Chains A and B, each alone.
Chain A
């Protein structure tokens, strides 16, 4: 690994794509063809950048490298926010894969995009979403991953914007961005908590230490990692957050699959995969997360079986279950195993969505192309369910091998894989049968077939593992070259190999047969059985009443908030306090006024009485009788006085 002085071309191309996306939105009225040419330029630039940075052009060898810069504070300072680019195999794989998938969808459905009312939003969301995934997977620090998640989530919301005028679609869009928003906020909280307990966060700390960069080992923080996991959970939205996936959407299905499901999931998984070594510090808590995701997968699959045969809900919920399994695989068997599972689910999602778009509208076309589309649909189902020869099968084998040490876990995982494969094959048969019933497929061009085939080929085992059967044969006898991502061999040992292989392939085969027997041959037995249980169906299909729980929590919060604000702001501040103050002031003023009056009256009365007495006395003096009495008294008094004075 080496240290770069400048960011990679891929990072520049991704940022340029974001600018293009903004330009398409702002200038859609002025750009020709609603800005599609700008979208094409963006994607081509991105692919070219991938080629140059990975050595496809020129001398052709790949070198891992990093680039780091400070965002807030110095780059290696504790508590700072640093941004960095990590150029490694896994990141390039994810980024290139996303770019290729987006380019293929653009190639396939450009005419369909042009016919949409808000085509510019679709082009812009495609560019922004791909850029988000590229940034998330090229990130050396989790802060840039969060920016990538923000971009890809925002792109998905923008894509949903084409259908905002319908109330149900609007509710779905609101639920979508609420869940992603919550997930993003919780991830930011978790990240901040981790950053507060140690130096600036980086991925691949061990590799960076080998480059002589200062010790980056931060203190482990279960709370921060826990919040991060919960945030990732919300962003991926498995059960119980199925409400957005359930229900028919007006958005064109491949668009919805790529922009609203795959791209946000890829971005969110960057955090889970890159931080795997830190999450393992949680110990048993991380394992519990895995077990919880297995449970979520089961519940989602069960709900999918109760969905009406409307593709938006069925395929959407199936993919949610797949994501739950991917998340379960990370703690149980590692990131690369989960990646294999994700490859299968992604290729299946795209193929199913395209088949749905093709088969649902009846119009005339060539029967050979229709047959080809059915074949590709079957291949898609095989790819999605981990059949022989596909990369996704290695995930099932490896996770069963890792779980053998824990009693019962292997059985549970096998059950989950069986149900997952059963649902995948059910969808496959239903799609193929609907093509038959709709007589012909609409506008089925060769590009649709080729693109769908490409998506299946991306999951072929020998591309990733170098083994034709993906490790189905003992001793890797069919290996052609070194695996692309990690030089791991699937050497389970003879005893384990036989039991794991038997269990896994047996489950897949039984699932295929069950699907054929219940769905492929005649009518859909599941749909028929479920139709006899309307209440249970309504409960399970709507997500086990989670909407009601959510509404109840929301109502409780609103009631509390209303109560507190009403008591404080109305009862206290507008009524009690003013009245109380007024009473206090009025009371004091009244008391003082009364006291003043009393004192005044009292003083007046005193003055009146004194003056009355004196006045009365003087008045009495002026009357005649008193005068003579006074003369006698004064004369007598004078005589007594003279007498005593004379004696002295």
Chain B
């Protein structure tokens, strides 16, 4: 059981949250950072000890929890979630470090970040649907307070709408859970047992028509995840949250919740609903393409770094959906890899946003006079970091995004060659938007004082991300080998069941 590493990874932040209550603010910072780092160390231990020759879940921990309802504490890691575990391990200590100099309400903010970290880890590693839903539902709560208390002028509305979207999404997921539970004999929430296939024969009457349980459950679950992911056109709450949330909270949302939601979606669709996935893969590709294009088109019109980040996130998640829907080894491996690169890229973007907001007081980069900052000379390190982030998000060779993009396209084009045209247009639009942003902020004659370049603390926060972006682009093999066995096994099962 690998020394219960998963449990340590999940519960250490919760312990840190509880202890926050008893400590003064100055010490609570270090406690929060320590708890988060400790959980991250446990996560890194899991990542490094993952065997790459097996597709089976590893480091499993299974206990009976609510035995009368066959609900178990079942945790494990495999190829579907290991890279997102790595992402979260890097992300949360960085977010806590970014809020180091916040003056008010630090204890509360750190407690909420730790709670978020624990719930996302839990949702990612849970192999029992009820347990997974518990953690996933818990992950929605911190955002209500994080946005509602520390956000901008319209924080109350943004927090409320974020919460409502989460509630509706979680309700749909819960409905799917209940449907699955009661469709099986004996009743179970275990993903492995459900994946054995008995559920695929079950039907449920809906308004006098017999509907397959897998179809209905998939629809409900995917709808619930789509609301939180956020998938176009259900992304309105996300844009509002992006405008009002503090930068670190926005990063937690875009680079934390979105990758976890995508990872859950891939796991559910490939493990529980392979028949539905096989039948509706073209629809998934179309949804992904729509997200990619609409996100790109909307990104072009943005004047604020916050909304630009949000739309780039929507666009990139469309690409990942396309990879997942390609039903090919390259596409699936590429989409799982791209989830990691999406998270890292958006985290880098968010930190860059935070640096800019601290220095110039605004995230608007174009439009009103004096908002084009031209900071390349005053803050060269920030300029370089932003350049690396942009290059990785766009998938330029030599950066991590290139590997994911290339694999998704290689996997997707053979089945759907027509997708190259909207895809190329989307890439050009996103690149134009990001280049324009870079030009406005860093190049030209400086119009405002940009403040100092990055401090040591900020360097410690951002350098690991930049290094990872470069390493993933130059030497992706170790990361690819972690996910390939699981991806290939799932695909072979999916295609075998189809025959």
Would you call B420 and A165 a contact (CB within 8 A)?
no
Q: Which of A144-152, A208-216, A291-299 contacts B (4 or more CB under 8 A)?
A: A144-152
Does A412 sit within 8 A of B, measured CB to CB?
A: no
A71 within 8 A of B: yes
Pairwise interchain contact B427-A185, C-beta atoms closer than 8 A: yes
| Residue A604 lies at the interface, judged by CB distance under 8 Å to chain B | no
Contacts of A178 in B (CB 8 A): 431-432, 435
Within 8 A of A (CB), among B215-257: 232-233, 235-237, 239-240
A143, B239: Cβ atoms closer than 8 Å? no
Complex: how many Å from CA A320 to CA B410? 33
Kindly provide the distance from the CB of A159 to the nearest chain B CB, expressed in whole angstroms: 14
Closest chain B CB from A70 CB (angstroms): 8
Whether A170 lies near B444 (C-beta < 8 A) is yes
Considering the chains assembled together, what is the distance between the CA atoms of A487 and B330 in angstroms? Answer: 43
State whether the Cβ of B299 lies closer than 8 Å to any Cβ in chain A: yes
CA A126 to CA B372, docked complex, whole Å: 30
Among B95-103, B115-123, B134-142, B394-402, the stretch in contact with A? B394-402
Distance of A349 from chain B, by nearest CB (Å): 26
Tell which of B69-77, B78-86, B179-187, B411-419 binds the partner: B411-419
Q: Which of A150, A186, A191 is the one whose CB lies under 8 Å from B396? A: A150
The reply to whether B435 and A174 form a contact with Cβ atoms under 8 Å apart is yes
- Interface: A181 (CB within 8 A): yes
Cβ-defined contact, A150 with B398, below 8 A: yes
Pair A188/B402 contact, Cβ less than 8 Å: yes
Q: Does B18 contact A (CB under 8 A)?
A: no
Decide: B435 and A181 in contact? CB cutoff 8 A.
yes
**Contact (Cβ within 8 A) A182 B431:** yes
Among the stretches A90-98, A501-509, A568-576, the one at the interface with B is A568-576
The count of residues in chain B whose C-beta lies closer than 8 Å to any C-beta of chain A is: 60
Interface string of A59-98 (1 = CB under 8 A from B): 0000000000011110000010100000000000000000
Beta-carbon contact of B236 and A569 below 8 Å: yes
Contact status of A189 and B443, CB under 8 A, knowing A161-B376, A196-B412: no
Determine the distance from Cα of A79 to Cα of B410 in the docked complex, in whole angstroms. Answer: 6
Q: In the complex, A189→B407 CA distance in Å? A: 11
Is the beta-carbon distance between A81 and B311 smaller than 8 angstroms? Answer: no
CB of B294 within 8 A of CB of A564, answer yes
User: In the assembled complex, how far is the CB of residue B411 from the closest CB belonging to chain A, in whole angstroms?
Assistant: 7
Report the Cα distance A574→B165, complex, angstroms.
13
Does A573 lie within 8 Å of B298, measured CB to CB? no
Picked from A173, A174, A574, the residue with its CB within 8 Å of the CB of B240 is A574
Q: Please name all residues of chain A whose beta carbon is closer than 8 Å to the beta carbon of B428 when the two chains form the complex.
A: 182, 185-186
What is the bound-complex CA distance between A558 and B413, given in angstroms? 28
Residues 564-593 of A, flagged 1 when their CB comes within 8 A of B and 0 if not, give 110011001110011000000000000000
- Chain A residue at smallest Cβ distance from B307: A565
| A25 closest partner in B (C-beta) | B384
How far, in Å, is B437 (CB) from chain A's closest CB? Answer: 11
B477 touches A196 (CB 8 A): no
**Chain A contacts for B233, CB-based, 8 A:** 568, 572
**Contact in complex: A72, B445 (CB < 8 Å):** no
* Most chain B beta-carbon contacts within 10 A, residue among A150, A569, A577: A569
In the complex, whether A192 has a CB less than 8 A from a CB of chain B is: yes
Confirm or deny: A177 has a beta carbon within 8 angstroms of a beta carbon on chain B. Answer: yes
- Residues on A with beta carbons closer than 8 Å to the beta carbon of B443: 164, 170, 173-174
Are B236 and A188 neighbours in the complex by a CB distance under 8 Å? no
Q: Are A147 and B398 interface neighbours, CB within 8 A?
A: yes
Question: Are A189 and B445 also in contact (CB < 8 A) when A79-B330, A561-B297 are?
Answer: no
A197 engages B414 (CB within 8 Å): yes
Answer whether residue A411 sits at the interface, using C-beta atoms and an 8 A cutoff: no
Q: List 12 A-B contacts (CB under 8 A).
A: A70-B477, A143-B397, A174-B443, A185-B396, A185-B431, A188-B402, A189-B427, A196-B414, A223-B417, A559-B301, A562-B301, A573-B240
Can you add 17 more A-B contacts, CB < 8 Å, to A81-B407, A196-B413? A81-B403, A147-B398, A150-B397, A166-B445, A174-B435, A174-B438, A182-B431, A185-B394, A185-B396, A186-B424, A188-B409, A189-B424, A196-B409, A227-B420, A561-B299, A561-B300, A572-B233
5 tightest A-B CB contacts, nearest first? A573-B236, A561-B301, A170-B443, A192-B409, A562-B301
A residues with a Cβ closer than 8 A to B are 70-73, 79, 81, 143, 146-147, 149-151, 161, 164-167, 170-171, 173-174, 177-178, 181-182, 184-186, 188-189, 191-193, 195-197, 223-224, 227, 554, 557-562, 564-565, 568-569, 572-574, 577-578
